[in-house]
Chain A
Amino acid sequence: MVNMGPQHPSTHGVFRMVMAVDGEVVVDVEPHIGYLHRGSEKLSENELYVQVVTLFDRLDYISNLNNEMVFCRSVEKLMGLEIPERAEYIRVILCELNRVASHLLFFGTFGLDAGAMTPVMYTFREREKIQSMFEMVTGARMMHNYIRIGGVKNDVPEDFHRRMHELIAELRKGIDESDKLLSFNEIFLARTKGIGVISADKAINYGMTGPSLRASGIPMDIRKDEPYSVYDRFDFGIPIGENGDCWDRYYVRVEEMRQSMKIIEQALDQIPEGSTITPTRLVLRPPKGEVYVRGENPRGELGVYLVSDGADRPYRVKVRPPSFCNLMAIKELIKGTYVADSVVILGSLDIVLGEVDR
């Protein structure tokens, strides 16, 4: 028996695994989660709709804006609220930027998991530029509370376009550089190729979504399958993997960053002038009913099942967190591999415990 976590640098948070080992080979694994359970769903039932947005910030704290967007969309759908087009574009630009930031963080830490110390220095440098951009637009580096029900908090600053184009050019260069540094490194390939393989059928059976599923060869992306916001107006591809191993899960994300930047550039060209928020009351009372809204987060499908009884607070908010479902497959992935590989496999799923435990 080998215990890993809950305080262990490679568990990306407070996650514990108990592995039964036979020599160096893992024969069984029991994951334990819940160390970060804050009862966000229960808390949401006691807050006004506008206040719940802040709780969603704290679920997946690496991609806050994507989370805010899904919740705001669910309330807007319930109320039948139209939001200004300019706000849609700002949301898409920032969410895609957040996706790049999230994948950059994964890039660096995955390198660390595989024993490469250098890439994290490069990707954090790039990520820092995105964080500064967020600070300029939203006023905060994390926990933005920027996407509001009905639109976004405020319009973007004046030189936003110029600075975004500069940022994209820098990011392109930075990502290519890191890509060259790590992706086809022989030691890295040996650590990740053919490790932690999951077939497409198994991945679907476990409910995996996002890059982790696409690495197994299923081109499932909600932005394409069920276009929300203004995603149907952009031309972008869905990178998929072939083998469903750790390297595929890694490289799908690298390619995804490039696609995200393509979306941002198109959105910057198309963005119309106009207002950025449909004014609503502070105390919202959506009509009685229920909705399930899905959004493509950096880690997969974030779903919100929102039930309203017509009051000023949600009756029930159920969150379907992508990391939660991806992490469920860890049993399947780790069984039969070496203990040293378990760290790489866990890293390749790119989990955020704030969202797993809620």
Chain B
Amino acid sequence: MVENNNNGDKSPEEMVTLDEKGQFLEQTVPGLLSSYEIEIGRSSDTLALIIDPKDLLGIFNILKHDSQTYFDFLVCISVVDYIEYIQIVYHLLSTTKQHKLVVKADLDAGQPSISSLTSLWLGADWYEREGHDLFGVWFEGHPNLEPLLLYEGFEGHPGLKSYPLPEYKEW
């Protein structure tokens, strides 16, 4: 039997160092976004930025169009419910430079709201509708935030930790 936690108490963030592309980003990105307040962190082996939700559109505009970063591909938008706050995680990729970036924004759990990215990426559309559906996040400026996965008239946001799962019993 192999021990489960053979890494001790270390989280993966501490174990993995950035690769070359990640180091390049770590040096360039803070300079590009010097007018914004950002915090640099790690998400596994990728560089992560923690930003203020209100700066979202400005920061993504720079990240997408600057020739050094050129993040043209929005891979995924995830919403995570941490109970005290709701975190939105954006995974970005550059198809030409092949580097990756994770951008995170913490939202108020009571009334989560953030700007929509649909003006930059058409592909953000359904992710945001899903986030609205399952987590109740309001995406400011989204053209059509109607239910996507759930049916119309469904009450509650089943993605949240507070939403109960029906208890199944073995029989």
Contacts and interface: CB of A to CB of B under 8 A. Distances in A.
Interface of A: 33-34, 37, 39, 41-43, 46, 77-81, 202, 204-208, 218, 220, 225-226, 278-281, 284-292, 294, 301, 303, 305, 307, 315-316, 318, 320, 324-325, 328, 332, 357-358
Contacts of B9: 287
Contacts of B121: 205-207
Which 4 residue pairs are nearest across A and B when measured between Cβ atoms?
A207-B123, A318-B78, A34-B149, A320-B76
Interface stretch (B11-19, B25-33, B52-60, B108-116): B11-19
Given A34-B149, A41-B134, A42-B163, 10 more contacts: A37-B149, A77-B12, A78-B12, A80-B6, A206-B122, A287-B12, A291-B44, A292-B43, A324-B126, A325-B123
Interface string B51-77: 000000000000000000000111110
Interface bin, chain B: 35 or more
A205 B6 CA distance: 41
A287 B149 contact: no
Contact of B150 (A34, A292, A318): A34
B22 to A, nearest CB: 13
Given A287-B12, A292-B102, A303-B91, A328 B125 contact: yes
Contacts of B73: 204, 207
Contacts of A315: 80
Given A225-B98, A328-B122, A292 B91 contact: yes
B80 A307 contact: yes
Nearest to A78: B12
A291 B16 CA distance: 11
Contacts of B80: 307, 315-316, 318
B38 interface: no
Contacts of A358: 149
A285 B78 contact: no
A285 B5 contact: yes
A292 B10 CA distance: 18
B149 A33 contact: yes
18 contacts: A33-B148, A34-B147, A34-B149, A37-B150, A41-B159, A42-B163, A43-B165, A81-B2, A205-B72, A207-B73, A207-B74, A225-B98, A285-B4, A303-B76, A316-B81, A318-B79, A328-B123, A358-B149
Contacts of A328: 122-123, 125-126
Nearest to B126: A328
A311 to B, nearest CB: 12
Contacts of A307: 80
Interface of B: 1-2, 4-7, 9-13, 15, 43-44, 46, 72-76, 78-81, 89, 91, 95, 98, 102, 121-123, 125-126, 134, 147-151, 158-159, 163, 165
A34 B158 contact: no
Contacts of A202: 122
Nearest to A35: B151
Given A37-B149, A320-B76, A328-B126, A290 B165 contact: no
Contacts of B123: 205-208, 325, 328
Contacts of B122: 202, 205-206, 328, 332
Given A33-B149, A207-B74, A292 B4 contact: no
Contact of A80 (B7, B149, B150, B158): B7
Contacts of A225: 98
Given A42-B165, A204-B95, A328-B122, A301 B75 contact: yes
A152 B134 CA distance: 34
Contact of B44 (A42, A77, A324): A77
Contacts of B98: 225-226
B140 to A, nearest CB: 20
B158 A42 contact: yes
Contacts of A287: 5, 7, 9-12
Contacts of B72: 204-205
B144 to A, nearest CB: 9
Of the listed residues A226, A287, A307, the one surrounded by the most CB atoms of chain B closer than 10 A to its CB is A287
B79 to A, nearest CB: 8
A174 to B, nearest CB: 34
A39 B121 CA distance: 26
Contacts of A288: 11
